[in-house]
Amino acid sequence: MAIKEHLRRTLTLFILLAPALSPGVVSAGPGPVQAQSQTSRTANIVRRSSRYEQAGLPEIQSYISSAWDTLTRSMTSCQSITDPKASTPPVIYLPADFAAPAELEPVTRECHAQIARLPQVIHRLGEIDSKGLDPHALLYLPRPYVVPGGMFNEMYGWDSYFIIRGLVESGRIDLARGMVENFFFEIAHYGALLNANRGYMLTRSQPPFLTSMIMAVYDAEKAKGRDDRDWLATAYPYAVEDHDLWVHDPHLAGATGLSRYFDFGRGPVAEEDLAYYRRAAAYFILHPGEAAGFLSTTGPGEHPPEAIGPRFSLNLCSKNADSENAGSENAGAPGAGNCDRLEDAGLTADFYKGDRSVRESGFDITFRYGPYAAGTHHYADVGLNCLLYKVETDLERMSALLSKSAEAGQWRESASERRDAINKYFWNAQKGEFFDYDFTGSERSSYEYATTFYPLWVGLASPEQAEAVDRNFAHFDRPGGLLTSLKETGGQWDAPYGWAPLQLIAAEGLRRYGFTQDANRLSAEFLTTVLLNFRRDGTIREKYNVVTRSSETHVQAGYTQNVVGFGWTNGVFLALLHNLPPEWTRRIPLQ
């Protein structure tokens, strides 16, 4: 490495990372189903209260109302079963022990889709080797569901909670309930609540929002006079099984009593192209101090001890070639005459484990777990463990409603133990924030991140902790909403971007502890950002630049699109608006 550093400083070094393997196919494009009639719901929206009309909101509310149908998918729709990220013919996988539904028969004929069975019965996540499957095949679900939009044409794990919040606000409780029941089907037949219902996602879950979804539907139905304890009793064992995934190896964070994200697969993910991994390798080559454990190098012609993923070549090329080539458009380009091959490089198994695991977290890509999130599986994560605390308190409530008093006590004790561990490992009293914990290095992170608001949202923070976090609210607050982090890394889950889920969690967390003015200001800022951009181009987006209050993004690590739709932004918009007092709603600008 010392020789390379010397060469880099004394010569003009052209790094060519040449692929040794062919890339996966990645493409993007929307795939909406035809919207159903919206006449009655649109009419109701237009008749909203005068405060909404004053703020100019009926048009965006009408868009969201129509979008629920535009974004709804089912297994009987040709547009639903295609994967916009691939060009292969559609395939639907059925569970190995599940009878083929009659409704799929026309799909094979009209959509030219193949119906196949998974090769084995799946009892838990990680039991099946997804490498032998068609990666882009859709996993069968029995009920309609809402997708995020664009290239995301599947039912996603944590997206669905925020979508369900919006469906409940829109009175679409039956659709929300069906989505929750789809997750019960996934747990029963695919081993877990999945990242999404695609073949290549059978190796990972997503942040545990299932009990939050269950209780959102249960409470919405109860508010309308339907206290469905039978449905709650059906939901309870699935919720217990979902929790069980996170409290056993390999999802345990060492001996901390906390949990981590962990994908059971190996090597590159199917949804990324080769260029992404080439850029990651280039980063570690140029930052050797951060490459330990994540980059593997060998001399030309040597074989790596463990070949996993593509290999790239590092070449030293002359900037000014000999007189024969000087001045030509190929001067300095790789070639036998002006380049020497120094070594080959590839990413390690540990890198790929982190790369996969960050996709289970949903925060792909952030640098909070190290460059390109390569160390994700080395961290006990603040957000994950706060969600598990909420799962345990939700299960306590469910147990009590179902007259399972002994189990309610056990869940209460589990939540108490987790709260103590969260305070021990995550809380930094000097800074007044919660930070992730690297359990492999026994070190608390210093990477300031919006997940510091999760303890407020789930109610585990003490009043003193909540007050300290609120004092730091200004660090994250920008004209367009809440920053995801304070560092610009090129990753979409870092500054300057803001995401709908984190806006809702922070606003509701602040409101829960009485910091109403900050909650209202944050809500109004993000609502204004979404509304201004909607007026500009008639769309709602996946994420926003909250510094410039625009939907323009320049992502360098991960996919670069700012996808239109967009399921969770629609849901969060309605939820934030519902809780915003009239005097704040009127502050949302008319233009």
The pLDDT tens digits for 468-517 are: 999 999 999 999 999 999 999 999 999 999 999 999 999 999 999 999 99
Confidence of residue 322 (pLDDT cuts 50, 70, 90): low
Residue 159 phi/psi, 5° resolution? -55, -40
Q: What is the DSSP string of 128-194?
A: S-GGGS-TTPEEP-SS-EE--BTTB-S-BHHHHHHHHHHHHHTT-HHHHHHHHHHHHHHHHHHSS--
- Rg, Å, the chain Cα set: 25
Looking at the predicted structure, is the pLDDT value of residue 21 above 50?
A: no
Looking at the predicted structure, is the pLDDT value of residue 341 above 90?
A: no
Q: CA 187, CA 185: separation in Å to the nearest integer? A: 5
Looking at the predicted structure, is the pLDDT value of residue 158 above 60?
A: yes
Check if the beta carbon of residue 527 is closer than 8 Å to that of residue 540.
no
Check if the beta carbon of residue 498 is closer than 8 Å to that of residue 484.
yes
pLDDT at residue 129, rounded to an integer: 85
**More confident of the two residues 330 and 173:** 173
Residue-wise pLDDT for 4-16, tens only, equals: 343 343 333 333 4
Residue 542 annotated in active site: yes
Residue 467 annotated in active site: no
Q: CA 541, CA 554: separation in Å to the nearest integer? A: 14
CB contact set of 410 (below 8 Å; sequence gap of 6+): none
Looking at the predicted structure, is the pLDDT value of residue 196 above 60?
A: yes
Mean pLDDT (whole number) for 548-552: 96
Q: CA 349, CA 231: separation in Å to the nearest integer? A: 43
Q: What is the DSSP string of 15-53?
A: -----SSPPPP------PPPPPP-HHHHHHHHT--HHHH
Mean pLDDT (whole number) for 149-172: 96
Q: Which two tokens stand for residue 106?
A: 């026309």
Residue-wise pLDDT for 573-586, tens only, equals: 999 999 999 999 98
β 91-94/427-428 pair status:
unpaired
Q: CA 57, CA 42: separation in Å to the nearest integer? A: 13
**More confident of the two residues 365 and 323:** 365
Mean pLDDT (whole number) for 220-228: 97
pLDDT at residue 465, rounded to an integer: 98
Q: CA 43, CA 45: separation in Å to the nearest integer? A: 5
Backbone dihedral region for residue 218 (phi beyond 0: left; psi -120 to 50: alpha; all else: beta) = alpha
pLDDT at residue 333, rounded to an integer: 57
pLDDT at residue 87, rounded to an integer: 81
Residue-wise pLDDT for 93-134, tens only, equals: 999 999 999 999 999 889 889 999 999 999 999 999 888 888
Confidence of residue 336 (pLDDT cuts 50, 70, 90): low
Mean pLDDT (whole number) for 32-39: 38
Q: Count CA within 13 A, CB hemisphere, residue 252.
A: 8
Q: Which two tokens stand for residue 197?
A: 């219902």
Looking at the predicted structure, is the pLDDT value of residue 397 above 70?
A: yes
For all residues of the chain together, what is the average pLDDT?
89
pLDDT at residue 79, rounded to an integer: 83
Check if the beta carbon of residue 157 is closer than 8 Å to that of residue 119.
no
Place of tokens 């709603």: 585
Cβ count near 245 (within 10 Å): 19
Cβ count near 77 (within 10 Å): 17
User: At 228, which helix (H) or strand (E)?
Assistant: none
Mean pLDDT (whole number) for 316-337: 60
pLDDT at residue 206, rounded to an integer: 98
Residue-wise pLDDT for 39-72, tens only, equals: 444 444 334 445 566 567 899 999 999 999 999 9
Check if the beta carbon of residue 361 is closer than 8 Å to that of residue 354.
no
Bridge partners (DSSP) listed for residue 138: 92, 198
Residue-wise pLDDT for 518-539, tens only, equals: 999 999 999 999 999 999 999 9
Looking at the predicted structure, is the pLDDT value of residue 434 above 70?
A: yes
pTM of the complete model: 0.89
Helix, coil or strand: residue 499? strand
Give the percent of the chain with pLDDT over 90.
76
* Candidate list 134, 364, 438, 525, residue with the active-site label: 364
**More confident of the two residues 379 and 339:** 379
Whether the bond into 250 is cis, omega within 30 of 0: yes
Helix, coil or strand: residue 117? strand
Q: CA 115, CA 146: separation in Å to the nearest integer? A: 22
Mean pLDDT (whole number) for 220-234: 98
CB contact set of 248 (below 8 Å; sequence gap of 6+): none
CA torsion sign for 289, 293, 299, 301 is negative
Looking at the predicted structure, is the pLDDT value of residue 334 above 70?
A: no
Bridge partners (DSSP) listed for residue 499: 543
Looking at the predicted structure, is the pLDDT value of residue 24 above 90?
A: no
**More confident of the two residues 54 and 338:** 338
Q: Which two tokens stand for residue 324?
A: 């024969």
pLDDT at residue 337, rounded to an integer: 66
Residue-wise pLDDT for 383-393, tens only, equals: 999 999 999 99
* Candidate list 154, 360, 494, 542, residue with the active-site label: 542
Residue-wise pLDDT for 241-256, tens only, equals: 999 999 999 999 999 9
β 138-139/295-298 pair status:
unpaired
Give the percent of the chain with pLDDT over 70.
87
**More confident of the two residues 23 and 359:** 359
Check if the beta carbon of residue 356 is closer than 8 Å to that of residue 265.
yes
